[in-house]
Amino acid sequence: MNKIVFSLILFILILSPFCTAAAQSSVITEDEIKAFNTTGFPQWAKDLRRWDIIAFGTFPFSMFFSTFFNDLSRWNRANGMDFSAEGRRYAPWPFKSAGAVDLTSQEFGRNILLAIGISAAFAFTDLIIVKIRQNMERRKLESKPPSRGTYTIERRSNESAEADEKPEIQKIPEDIDDTVSLNEPAPE
């Protein structure tokens, strides 16, 4: 039996270099190049998405810690955290011995509800912190003095611009001396 399994594995390994698949083409369309733009979404949708990501992201950690601390509590109630082989049947995961006592469905449900609550608490805490920062940033922008002036840029065709802008030529009166000597101070 071992010879058959060994020969089958050897056969597959020998044929593997010849059984290759071609990669997909590297032609990238213009739509794929454009980055995903979130400017069209309302702020509440972005906040809800962030809350969702944080709640689901922290759930595995909160589930692990709620199970660990629930097991610690069971271990303490059962035998005062005895480290003998019999006493470690209620111990949490790294300390469990063979023949450990499983969680009841009620304890398991309590662990899940506790993990959901902890995850939601982390997500709400993050939401509050983000909202406070956004309000501080908004107030900082609103407290800045308005700009000195607003500029308006009008686009006009070249023909209408040339007709509107006729340069005026001013003549300098002849009694003004426009030469300045470097040694003498300029007249005031």
Name, of 33-37, 43-47, 117-121, the range with top average pLDDT. 117-121
Q: What is the DSSP letter of 129?
A: H
Q: What is the pLDDT of residues 38-60, one digit of tens each?
A: 678 888 999 999 999 999 999 99
Domain boundaries, the chain: 41-140
Is residue 73 scored above 90 in pLDDT? Answer: no
Q: For residue 19, give the 3-state DSSP assignment.
A: coil
d(CA 119, CA 32): 35
- CA separation for the pair 89, 98 (Å, rounded): 7
Examine the pLDDT at 114 and tell me if it is beyond 80. yes
Chain mean position to CA 35: 15
**Tens-place pLDDT, residues 126-178:** 999 999 999 999 898 888 776 666 666 676 666 655 555 555 555 555 655 55
Sign of CA dihedral 153, 159, 163, 166: positive
pTM confidence score:
0.56
